[in-house]
Amino acid sequence: MVDEIIKIEKSLGLPFLQAVLENSSACIILAEASSGKIIYINNAVRIFRGKTDAPLDNIALKEYVLSWKDLFPDGTPMKNEEMPLARAILNDEIISNEEVIVELDNGEYRWALASASPIKDENGTTVAGIVSWLDITDYKEKQIELQKTKDEIKTLKGLIPICSSCKKIRDDKGNWSQIEEYIRRHSEAEFSHGICKECIVKLYPDLDIYGK
């Protein structure tokens, strides 16, 4: 994305570039080096962030955590220098499709798929940095819910000790349970009860349910 933006600016000029950025569905932030001062945010950033009293532009790198609460996927808060934009500026690092959690002012957590890169001049000197991200919250919530469902599904496999007389099943702790109880504990199965033809004839010989 960075290369494309630079090409657009060179070929069509800054006003056209600004129009492209403002109408992009991706959130985009530009910052100057080496202070990391944010010099531009597009409209998608404002929509993503929602209502906030925190300044989103004209802040230096050392102030990022005061305005943005970014977290690693495991929930660990990021320090200023650990944020994708800061890494691009400080370390000339190119970040591609990195998952980040953003805590909003209302306490809501949003998932972002972030990419960042340094912007260099014709001499190869880093003069700015850019970060862009897409809101993938809906996708991540569905992914997490799917994994949760998979984790809850317990599969019966291997050898299961069963009493040859009463048909109770012995678990790994040595306890014996009715087969329905055991299967219910170790799977998502539920039981409804009926009586098979053979048992009806055996238990109720006087009833002519199936005819003779």
pLDDT per position as a tens digit, 143-174: 988 887 776 666 666 678 888 888 888 887 88
Flag whether 209 is in a domain.
Answer: no
Q: How far apart are CA 169 and CA 156, in angstroms?
A: 12
Flag whether 165 is in a domain.
Answer: yes
Of the residues 89, 109, 137, which one is the last residue of a structural domain? Answer: 137
Per the structure, how many domains does the chain have? 2
Please tell me the predicted confidence (pLDDT) of residue 84.
97
Whether 124 and 185 share a structural domain = no
Whether 9 and 84 share a structural domain = yes
Helix (H) and strand (E) counts for the chain?
8, 8
Please tell me the predicted confidence (pLDDT) of residue 203.
82
CB neighbours of residue 107 within 10 Å: 6
Q: How far apart are CA 50 and CA 104, in angstroms?
A: 8
Whether 95 and 21 share a structural domain = yes
Q: Residue 73: which domain range?
A: 2-137
Segment 43-61 mean pLDDT: 92
Of the residues 90, 112, 137, which one is the last residue of a structural domain? Answer: 137
Flag whether 30 is in a domain.
Answer: yes
Grade residue 13 by pLDDT with cuts at 50, 70 and 90.
Answer: low
3-state secondary structure of 145: helix
